[in-house]
Amino acid sequence: MKLKAKPLKLFAGRSIAILHKETAEKLQLHEDSRIRIKKIGEKRWVTAVIDIAEEMVKKDEIALSNDITKIIKIKRKDWVEVAVELRPYSINYINKKMQGKRLNFTEIYSIISDIAKDRLKEGEIAYFISALYFRGCDMKEIYDLTRAMINTGAVLKHKEKYVLDLHSCGGVAGNRTSPIVVSLVASAIQHLGIDAIMPKTSSRAITSAAGTADVMECVAKIVFSTAELRKILDKTKACLVWNSALNLSPADDKILKVESLLPIDTEPKLLASVISKKVADGATHLLVEIPYGNSSKFKLAEAIRLKKKFLKLTSKFGIKTKTILTDGSQPVGRGVGPVLEMLDVISVLKNKKEKLSDLENRSLLFASELLALTKEISKKDALDLCKFLLYSGRAYKKFREIVLAQGGKTNFEEKLRTGKFRKEIKAKKEGTIKAIDNKKVSLIARIAGCPGDKGAGIWLHKKRGDSVQANDVLFTIFSESKEKLDYAYRIAQQSNPFEIE
Amino acid sequence: MKLKAKPLKLFAGRSIAILHKETAEKLQLHEDSRIRIKKIGEKRWVTAVIDIAEEMVKKDEIALSNDITKIIKIKRKDWVEVAVELRPYSINYINKKMQGKRLNFTEIYSIISDIAKDRLKEGEIAYFISALYFRGCDMKEIYDLTRAMINTGAVLKHKEKYVLDLHSCGGVAGNRTSPIVVSLVASAIQHLGIDAIMPKTSSRAITSAAGTADVMECVAKIVFSTAELRKILDKTKACLVWNSALNLSPADDKILKVESLLPIDTEPKLLASVISKKVADGATHLLVEIPYGNSSKFKLAEAIRLKKKFLKLTSKFGIKTKTILTDGSQPVGRGVGPVLEMLDVISVLKNKKEKLSDLENRSLLFASELLALTKEISKKDALDLCKFLLYSGRAYKKFREIVLAQGGKTNFEEKLRTGKFRKEIKAKKEGTIKAIDNKKVSLIARIAGCPGDKGAGIWLHKKRGDSVQANDVLFTIFSESKEKLDYAYRIAQQSNPFEIE
């Protein structure tokens, strides 16, 4: 059926098309049905879920949400072709996996391709994630999942000999090493004159209070085309951008969004997600951090198992990989939340004396290990070089360069604002801080508004091993809304992340 | 924040509110965020997911989908209060169950109440269903789940001594006994002059091609208020209506909708679903059919286990229950799909000679067992009475009475139309029909358009034990759309439900 397009500046978080009731009846469509849409004369179909209206649209019209019009360029009154989207057959493969059966590449590709094309609904994707969570995958399935994710998105090619990359498996609040590592590595690359870049592409938060993309967005743009990215890399040898905008492994992003509802993380998906993104962004040398410990995602045994799988999989894709297991038993740094973590990053880069040695040491370690992976420099020399670059202010200068190349303002530091609503949580007794629970910290920060509200989050006044008196402030909760603050405060009181002994 | 309402005749399958971009920013809301809305001066809050628009709505306006305006009566320019809906805490209980921990009543109630009030998203409900599917529940949890479902909806009270009810656990294509059993029981009630009614409330299809509600909707209305229902019962002693419209166990309906995506069925949910609906519709005496066998939902051992759980649970709620295990190894009757099943029902009631003995015998058995459960008549006498009522045309007369009382037209039989697009599937070799797979039959019928497209479905020309020659027609697929028919035909060829030996 041919209909006149009515592009709406409507943002629904999914592709929505609105049809007149009679038009929907003619097509035998019900609310929540799926349709396919393409511009007349063009080839690309997009899938959308329909809403049905009695007003708003005429019988020969179809209103389209922004998610659709950004994919197929459409102007008002352009004619579009509309067809019934059949029930995606991949749903049967999701069901097969739910029942505990192995999937082959064709079946996995069918699911991933339908997710990438928005043909599966949130609930169907949640079932797929649950099936992976409860049934697990063997190495062949994980490899196939990774390949399917790569093949359904864009793949970047770089001219440099070394394309350095970093990934942290997460689960540790405030662990924002990437901006520091990238600044260190990029200035080292220039210092050593090696043919390398570090085009770091990152995600937004999944289960945590902030992802590197959320944090960088506080000071610079993170959305760039491939051509724009190349210009930034030519200028600075590095970048810190949002991977979603580059359409690398787009299915992964859509799965992450549904995972973030609970939140939930599954090992097969974690491996496929990371490696597909790294293959797609062109990495040749990769450092993977796997934090382990109480209240982090992994216990030591799991971290060791994961490490082996990482090495096995990356070698299949020809990426030289080093994995580092780190102590993930308490948050890193002081700030948790986009703005608060950026403040930590700047403190380290500017060598401020704020007891951020954990964040600093990790960043130095990762940067030097990554540089040494190229064999152009020894580990020891790389560590010394990174220390020099950090303490001499060169790394900070490189960071500013990257921020400005990514469209940040010269006074970006002054623009950082923490949430104006805040409350302190105090110690009920004296003693020593025995533990700080990452999951509880992240939950409270998310309830306070993270990662969507940039200024929301938590500032840790105390860390493990510190002594406290009764009534000493343990942490401050920041929020941009009074309601969210109150709720976060209530949860923080019910379930305090600090354990004092 | 106070905003002017703009009710839209928009049907989205969920509660949607559309806010202007700047208004959303002021409230720190992002697309897909949850808000609460109430009419100024009234108490009832409803939850909605937001879309964000740059046109369509003004900054002081909020556009509301039909799902909202039908709950809180709202006219254009009524003022409404809008507040941020915090992340429902029940999500943490879903996560707890995902991790394999037991939930107590408060936790289960919190999840079910949030589902009933539309506070959880499709993906979150899918995770809850997955958690029940993979982790299971003990009897206490199932009892709590049932109570929570009852307590979050309406409960009907009837004046009669016996409120008779029937439930089939499903999984068998074409097993449409309810309209026949209700007609038999209602005419027996009048014949015997006992103080009883059979107010049958049914669901729409979950995993199958049609539910009793979908089938009845082909000839009568199925949506009634409690008061209207009472009038129908006074007139005919029975009804066949849609349970959702009566707000019985509303959370159950919302869970079913998400289950139907895959489709998936879980035992704890199945038990709670059936029993909560039966307690809420006021049943005192209940017959439960549990079909078992290859390609049905349950194997014999599972059916026996389920039977015990049914009896245990219904006794806690004071419902006198009889469970019958039936042969579920092939479809019942000939038609599969709303109109096609109604044609079978009418054939049995009108004593047509169409080899529908399986549908007829089951219906006679269920009706007589249910009547005998009251102890007002023996099993043998009840069976003889039912046969008399069926063969004398009295049951058919009763069925017509019910259809007319429910707003059906006197010529309802002539109005039944099967899908105009159809294709036959033929035998590839001669032999005897060894099996007909229920799941494959249902899948093909659903792909052909069931249950939404009433005329879609399958007509079985052959049943198990029949001899066929090569090229004999095994079944016909009906559809209301050529595209859906082609797709169903392709699947039918790939995965034929008939096994010939």
Q: Render A287-342 in DSSP notation, one character per residue.
A: EEEEEESTTSSB-HHHHHHHHHHHHHHHHHTT-EEEEEEEE-SS-SSSEESHHHHH
* Position B77 confidence tier, pLDDT thresholds 50, 70, 90: confident
ipTM (interface pTM) = 0.87
Instruction: Give the Cα separation of B446 and B58 in Å (integer).
Output: 42
Residues comprising chain A, all counted: 501
What would the two tokens of residue B363 be?
């219906």
What would the two tokens of residue B400 be?
């017509």
* Position B440 confidence tier, pLDDT thresholds 50, 70, 90: very high
Q: Which of A52, A447, A487 lies closest to B11 in CB terms?
A: A52
Please provide the average confidence, as pLDDT, over all residues in chain A. 94
How many angstroms separate the CA of residue A209 from the nearest CA in chain B? 14
Decide the pairing of beta strands A457-460 and A2-7: unpaired
Among chain A residues, CA nearest to B53? A10
* Residues contacting residue A393 through CB under 8 Å, at least 6 positions apart: A350, A351
Model pLDDT for residues B324-352, shown as the tens digit of each residue: 999 999 999 999 999 999 999 999 999 99
Interchain proximity B91–A261, CB inside 8 Å: yes
Q: What is the dihedral angle through the alpha carbons of B278, B281, B284, B290, rounded to the nearest 10 degrees?
A: -30
Cα–Cα nearest to B381, from B390, B394, B371, B391: B371
A-B C-beta contacts closer than 8 Å: 159
Model pLDDT for residues A224-282, shown as the tens digit of each residue: 999 999 999 999 999 999 998 899 999 998 998 899 899 888 899 999 999 999 999 99
Instruction: Give the Cα separation of B344 and B346 in Å (integer).
Output: 5
Mean pLDDT calculated for residue range B127-138: 97
Q: Which of B31, B84, B452 lies closest to A481 in CB terms?
A: B84
Residues of chain A positioned with their CB less than 8 A from the CB of B127:
126, 129-130, 261-262, 264
Asked if A215 and A176 touch (Cβ cutoff 8 Å), the reply is yes
Instruction: Give the Cα separation of B459 and B342 in Å (integer).
Output: 12
Mean pLDDT calculated for residue range B43-66: 92
Interchain proximity A11–B18, CB inside 8 Å: no
Asked if B13 and B258 touch (Cβ cutoff 8 Å), the reply is no
Mutate to test the interface with B, among A1, A8, A10, A84 (most CBs of B within 10 A): A10
Beta-bridge partners for A290? A325
Residues of chain B positioned with their CB less than 8 A from the CB of A134:
130, 134
Q: CA separation (Å) from A403 to A362, A411, A451, B85?
A: 22, 11, 20, 35
How many angstroms separate the CA of residue B401 from the nearest CA in chain A? 30
Interchain proximity B133–A98, CB inside 8 Å: yes
Q: Tell whether the model's pLDDT for residue B206 goes beyond 90.
A: no
Residues of chain B positioned with their CB less than 8 A from the CB of A262:
91, 94-95, 98, 124, 127
Q: Which of B9, B56, B122 lies closest to A123 in CB terms?
A: B122
Residues of chain A positioned with their CB less than 8 A from the CB of B134:
130, 134
Q: Tell whether the model's pLDDT for residue B28 goes beyond 80.
A: no
Residues of chain A positioned with their CB less than 8 A from the CB of B55:
8-9
Among chain B residues, CA nearest to A453? B28
Catalytic residue among B78, B114, B144, B265: B265
Model pLDDT for residues B137-195, shown as the tens digit of each residue: 999 999 999 999 999 999 999 999 999 999 999 899 999 999 999 999 999 999 999 99
Residues of chain A positioned with their CB less than 8 A from the CB of B18:
10
Q: CA separation (Å) from B266 to A184, A454, B225?
A: 53, 40, 30
Among chain B residues, CA nearest to A10? B53
Q: Tell whether the model's pLDDT for residue A28 goes beyond 80.
A: no
Model pLDDT for residues A465-479, shown as the tens digit of each residue: 999 999 999 999 999
How many angstroms separate the CA of residue A117 from the nearest CA in chain B? 18
* Position A183 confidence tier, pLDDT thresholds 50, 70, 90: very high
Strands of A238-242's sheet in order across:
A238-242, A196-202, A162-168, A285-292, A320-327
* Position A312 confidence tier, pLDDT thresholds 50, 70, 90: very high
Q: Which of A16, A261, A453 lies closest to B121 in CB terms?
A: A261
Residues of chain A positioned with their CB less than 8 A from the CB of B258:
123
For the residues of B75-109, what is the DSSP string, one character each?
A: -TT-EEEEEEPPPPTHHHHHHHHHTT----HHHHH
Q: What is the dihedral angle through the alpha carbons of B107, B113, B118, B120, rounded to the nearest 10 degrees?
A: 0
Q: What is the structure's pLDDT at A53?
A: 93
Q: Cα Rg for chain B, rounded, in angstroms?
A: 24
Decide the pairing of beta strands B431-436 and B467-468: antiparallel
Residues of chain B positioned with their CB less than 8 A from the CB of A56:
8-10
* Position B73 confidence tier, pLDDT thresholds 50, 70, 90: confident
Among A23-32, A102-111, A252-261, B469-478, where is mean pLDDT lowest?
Answer: A23-32
Interchain proximity A86–B483, CB inside 8 Å: yes
End-to-end CA distance of chain B: 71
Q: What is the structure's pLDDT at A495?
A: 92
Q: Tell whether the model's pLDDT for residue A366 goes beyond 80.
A: yes
3-state secondary structure of B500: strand
Alpha helices, DSSP H only, in B295-356?
300-316, 338-349
Query: Catalytic residue at B265?
Result: yes
Q: Which of A28, A51, A261 lies closest to B123 in CB terms?
A: A261
* Residues contacting residue A48 through CB under 8 Å, at least 6 positions apart: A15, A16, A17, A34, A35, A36, A37, A64, A65, A67, A68, A118
Q: Which of B11, B124, B261 lies closest to A121 in CB terms?
A: B261
How many angstroms separate the CA of residue A208 from the nearest CA in chain B? 15
Catalytic residue among A118, A265, A344, A358: A265
Place of tokens 């070799």: B429
Model pLDDT for residues B347-398, shown as the tens digit of each residue: 999 999 777 899 999 999 999 999 999 999 999 999 999 999 999 999 999 9
Residue B196 CB coordination number (10 Å): 25
Model pLDDT for residues B398-434, shown as the tens digit of each residue: 999 999 999 999 999 999 999 999 999 999 999 999 9
How many angstroms separate the CA of residue A422 from the nearest CA in chain B? 16
3-state secondary structure of B333: coil
Residue A136 CB coordination number (10 Å): 13
3-state secondary structure of B314: helix
Interchain proximity A8–B446, CB inside 8 Å: no
CB burial of B388-425 (b: ≥16 within 10 Å; e: otherwise) equals ebbeeebbbebbbbbbbbbebeeebeeebebbebbbeb
Beta-bridge partners for A288? A167, A323
Mutate to test the interface with A, among B31, B297, B421, B447 (most CBs of A within 10 A): B31
Residues of chain B positioned with their CB less than 8 A from the CB of A87:
446-447
Q: What is the dihedral angle through the alpha carbons of A62, A123, B224, B212, rounded to the nearest 10 degrees?
A: 110
Model pLDDT for residues B224-246, shown as the tens digit of each residue: 999 999 999 999 999 999 998 89
Interchain proximity A8–B122, CB inside 8 Å: no
* Residues contacting residue B387 through CB under 8 Å, at least 6 positions apart: B364
Q: What is the structure's pLDDT at B13?
A: 83
Q: What is the structure's pLDDT at A354?
A: 76
Q: Cis before residue A263, ω within 30 degrees of 0?
A: yes
Beta-bridge partners for A381? none
Q: Tell whether the model's pLDDT for residue A27 goes beyond 90.
A: no
Q: What is the structure's pLDDT at A104?
A: 98
Task: For residue A195, count CB atoms less than 10 angstroms from its CB and return exposed for 0-12, middle for 13-18, buried for 19 or more.
Answer: exposed
CB burial of A70-89 (b: ≥16 within 10 Å; e: otherwise) equals ebbebeeebebebebbbbbb
Instruction: Give the Cα separation of B212 and B168 in Å (integer).
Output: 10
Cα–Cα nearest to A478, from A298, A209, A217, A232: A209
Mean pLDDT calculated for residue range A447-474: 95
Instruction: Give the Cα separation of B347 and B330 in Å (integer).
Output: 20
* Residues contacting residue B175 through CB under 8 Å, at least 6 positions apart: B168, B291, B328, B331, B332, B333, B359, B362
Model pLDDT for residues A487-501, shown as the tens digit of each residue: 999 999 999 999 999
Model pLDDT for residues B275-318, shown as the tens digit of each residue: 999 999 999 999 999 999 999 999 999 999 999 999 999 999 99
Q: Which of B10, B124, B447 lies closest to A56 in CB terms?
A: B10
* Position A315 confidence tier, pLDDT thresholds 50, 70, 90: very high
Q: What is the structure's pLDDT at A14?
A: 85
